[in-house]
Structure 1
C-alpha cells in the first residue's frame, strides 16, 4: 500500500536548525509562528477562528532517518516509522491565507498536512499521561525582521 499526502501549507518559524528548536510545543508557548496555507485550501480556514486551540499535523521533513525504533511509540521522538508531528497550539489569528499560533516546536519550512479543532472534552475521563523527561530548551534565536 502506498499513501501519498499533499501539504496544505508551510509553517514559518524562527528555528532553522533542530538544535535551536524547543523539544515540545507545550514548552514553547513564548514563541509564535505562521502557517501559510496554499491557495486550494484557504477556504477550509472558514470557522477555525472560533477555536482557541487547534491541532497541527505536520511532516517531520528533516529528521534524518528512523533511528532505533525500540519503544518509540511510547515517546514523542521525531525518529518514527512515519515521521509525523502533532502539536496542540494556541490559535492567535486566522487570516484568509494563514494562521498565527503560539507553541512552536517546528522547524522553519515544515510542511503542514492538516489542521483540526482541539476539543478537550473528547476524552473527559482520560488520566494525565506519564511525565516525559524535561528536555533542555535552547535560548530563543533572534527573530527575523518582520516575523514575530
Structure 2
C-alpha cells in the first residue's frame, strides 16, 4: 500500500491528559470545553468559519496503542471488526469528532463537546452541515442493543499505547 503523510495543522487543548476517564464520543462529553490552537500559517483558512455552529475535527489519536482487526469496543463485551467500531487503535489512528464552535480568537478555536486528549494533533477542520451530513433510515448495527450505555461510558484505557 502507498504511504501517506500528513502534517498537523494545530493541536487540541483539553482537560483530558490521559485516555482513561475521557468521554468516548462528543455527545457524551456534556459541555466539556477545549481549544484548538491552529498553526499561524493556517490562520487565513479560518475566514468565514465563525458562521458555523458545529465543526468536524479530524485528528491523530496520538496515545492509541497497537490495533487488532477484531477487538472489544467500549460498550460491548463481544469482539467486533475494527472497521465496525470507533476505537482509537486502528490501522490509521484517525479520530473524528463533531464539536460545537463557541468562538474564534486569532488562531484559537474555542469549542465544546470535547472528547479529545490534550495535545491531540489536528489533521483537518471541516464545517458540519446537516444537509450534507445527516442521513435518514440509518442502521447502527451491533450498537442498536448498546447505545443507551453511551452517556455512562468513559474510556477505560484499553486502547492506550
Q: TM-score range by the shorter chain?
A: 0.7 to 0.9
Could you say which residue in structure 2 is the equivalent of 1:114? 124
2:66 corresponds in structure 1 to 65
Structure 2 CA distance, aligned partners of 1:98 and 1:35?
A: 6
Q: How does 1:37-116 map to 2 (within 5 A)?
A: 37-69=38-70, 71-116=81-126
Secondary structure at the counterpart of residue 61 of structure 1: coil
Runs of 5+ in structure 2 lacking a partner? 71-79, 155-161
Aligned equivalents of 2:136 and 2:84: distance in 1? 17
User: For structure 1, which runs of at least 5 residues remain unmatched after alignment?
Assistant: 139-148
Cα deviation for residue 120 of structure 1 reads 0.8
Aligned residues of 1:8 and 1:114 also touching (Cα < 8 A): yes
The secondary structure found in structure 1 opposite 2:64 is coil
Kept after mapping to 2: 8 A contact 1:21/1:137: no
1:13, 1:32 within 8 Å by CA — same for their partners in 2?
yes
- 1:125/1:103 Cα in 2 relative to 1: closer, same or farther (>3 Å)? closer
Q: Residue 43 and residue 105 in structure 1: after superposition, are their counterparts in 2 closer, same or farther (change >3 A)?
A: same
Give every structure 1 segment of 4 or more consecutive aligned residues whose post-TM-superposition deviation is greater than 6 Å: none
Higher helix share: 2
Aligned residues: 138
Scaled by the length of structure 1, what TM-score is found? Answer: 0.85
- The alpha-carbon deviation at position 18 of structure 1 amounts to 0.5
CA distance in 2, matches of 1:123, 1:30: 22
Q: 1:36 to 1:75 in 2, by over 3 A?
A: same
What value does the CA root-mean-square deviation take over the aligned residues? 1.7
Q: Name the residue aligned to 1:23.
A: 24
Change (3 A) 1:29 1:68: same
